Amino acid sequence: MVIPVHDVNPVRRTPYVTYALIAANFVVFLLTPGMAGSVAGQSDLSQLCHLQAFLDHYAAVPRELIHDQLPRLVPTGAVGVGPHGAGCVVAPPGYHKSPPASVFTAMFLHGSWLHLLGNMLFLLIFGNNIEDRLGHIRFALFYVACGYAAGYGFALLNDTSGAPLIGASGAISGVLGAYLVLYPRVRVWILVPFLLFLPLRLPAWIVLGFWFVLQAFYSSGQGVSSAGTVAYAAHVVGFLVGMILAWPLRAGTPAPPEPRGPRWGRQARTGW
């Protein structure tokens, strides 16, 4: 619904962990079978079979996380021909999959360029300030903790699902929740798709609050089709966990700088 492009919130130190996470997500995406050419729609049955085998190995699956129900047969990545035509060959897995470890690997998997770029944009804009406030090591631990909470939270709500759960959205939602707690009044430049794109500068509490309300609304099944593939519940859980973890740091967080330039109407009121 809105596209953040910049926040008026300078940092004191270089966000090395944020940059490393973004780089790692791009590298893993380029190494994911069939993903590099997804923009051009280049995919065939062989690529789809390799992708399915890759996701079954490294993605988080709710019923595996909650019930430890690992499949007896998994795609091998090969293509075969059966009674109903060509398809992906399945066989007993030639590897041991750890469901808890799959939550971590799933944080670096994405299903499309749009999925990847959207997540990395939010991480780039809001992650640097959270890393600046927490420090490099604590931020890395915070990011992983939010990702695990989001993954297991979604799995608990969908414990019979065998669909793979992938993406950094849960961890990044935790970053957004922390940002709302620590920097609610920071001005954020966003683009609103109205005719073309309308640029607005709004307080973070409006931008992120609106985002969270939408995630909560969609997670209830409202406004989305039953065939939707976005794990909105993971976003909600990650956001709330990020808020809780950041709350003890709220009192000691320096106030954001005042935005430069003229302001009119309600923007000119102190504390709006």
Mean pLDDT, 10 residues at a time, the chain of 272 residues: 88 95 96 70 75 92 92 87 82 92 96 93 96 96 98 94 93 97 94 80 94 90 56 95 95 70 44 43
At 151, which helix (H) or strand (E)? helix 136-157
pLDDT value of residue 262 = 45
Dihedral sign from CA coordinates of 259, 129, 154, 168: positive
The CA distance from 248 to 261, in Å, is 33
The CA distance from 123 to 79, in Å, is 37
Here the tokens at position 124 are: 């780039």
pLDDT value of residue 146 = 98
* Contact present, 5 and 189 (Cβ < 8 Å): yes
Q: pTM higher than 0.85 for the full model?
A: yes
**Burial (0-12, 13-18, 19+ Cβ within 10 Å), 187:** buried
Q: Is 55 left (phi over 0), alpha (psi -120 to 50) or beta?
A: alpha
The CA distance from 176 to 242, in Å, is 7
**Burial (0-12, 13-18, 19+ Cβ within 10 Å), 241:** buried
